Amino acid sequence: MLIANTLDESNIEQDQKLYTIIGYEGAVSPPFSHLLIQLCSNFPIWRDDIAQACINFGLRLEQDASTLILNSIGLGLQQRVYKHLNDEASEQKVAARKELHTKLLKDLFFDGEVVTFDDNFNDYAIQVIQHYDESESLKLLKIEAERLLSDPNYNPCPLD
């Protein structure tokens, strides 16, 4: 909000303020201030430049962000813009990608009991996280968790 207040007090043209806010918001680490989300949800429909900037930002998050939560935010942002524009065809295309992303997220989760109590699994998890990105780490950890849990003799919390 500091950036918005500072720009409001400046003599900068309104369009330049807009692009400054979008650039600033896109560059800072999450959590994003809700300024960008609000802007991309409530801009005047005739402002194609704002719509395109918000769609591009959402697309960059969806495709290039380093975490799954940011990918989700990017999809949601695009969907909000298309909904605001009453562009049902584009909104449905994003909704389909969002559904695939949601399925991926669901597929990556595994039994947390393993993580909580198994020190060997925790050591393995730390090594995996150090060498792979978030998505690949979660896939590898899920495979290992499923392997461990399929063993009838596996005890995630052995008594020492």
Q: Give the model confidence (pLDDT) of 42-75 as tens digits.
A: 888 888 888 888 898 888 888 887 777 788 888 9
Average pLDDT over residues 137-160: 82
Q: How far apart are CA 21 and CA 26, in angstroms?
A: 8
Tokens of 9: 């007090």
Q: Looking at the structure, do residues 73 and 47 belong to the same domain, yes or no?
A: yes
Residue 129 is part of which domain span?
Answer: 112-150
Radius of gyration of the chain (CA): 21
| Residue 155, in any domain of the structure | no
CB proximity list for 72: less than 8 A, separation 6 or greater: 98, 101, 105
Please check the confidence at residue 9 and state whether its pLDDT lies above 80. Answer: no
Please check the confidence at residue 143 and state whether its pLDDT lies above 70. Answer: yes
88-108 and 134-150 helices, crossing angle to 10°: 40
Domain count, the chain: 2
Q: Looking at the structure, do residues 66 and 17 belong to the same domain, yes or no?
A: yes
Q: Looking at the structure, do residues 53 and 65 belong to the same domain, yes or no?
A: yes
**8 A C-beta contact, residue 114 and residue 148:** yes
Q: Which amino acid is at 73?
A: I
The pLDDT, as a whole number, for residue 8 is 53
Higher pLDDT, residue 151 or 4: 151
Q: Looking at the structure, do residues 97 and 40 belong to the same domain, yes or no?
A: yes
Q: Looking at the structure, do residues 85 and 130 belong to the same domain, yes or no?
A: no
**8 A C-beta contact, residue 50 and residue 35:** no
Q: Looking at the structure, do residues 120 and 58 belong to the same domain, yes or no?
A: no
Q: Looking at the structure, do residues 17 and 93 belong to the same domain, yes or no?
A: yes
**8 A C-beta contact, residue 125 and residue 141:** yes
Give the predicted TM-score (pTM) of the model: 0.62
pLDDT in tens, 74-125: 898 899 899 989 999 999 999 999 998 888 777 777 666 666 677 788 788 8
Higher pLDDT, residue 141 or 22: 141
The pLDDT, as a whole number, for residue 85 is 92
Q: Looking at the structure, do residues 95 and 116 belong to the same domain, yes or no?
A: no
| Residue 160, in any domain of the structure | no
Residues 100-132 as b/e (b if ≥16 CB within 10 A, e otherwise) read ebeeeeeeeebeeebeeebeebeebbeebeeee
Average pLDDT over residues 140-144: 87
Please check the confidence at residue 29 and state whether its pLDDT lies above 90. Answer: no
DSSP 133: -
Give the sign of the dihedral formed by CA 64, CA 71, CA 51, CA 42.
negative
Q: How far apart are CA 116 and CA 118, in angstroms?
A: 6
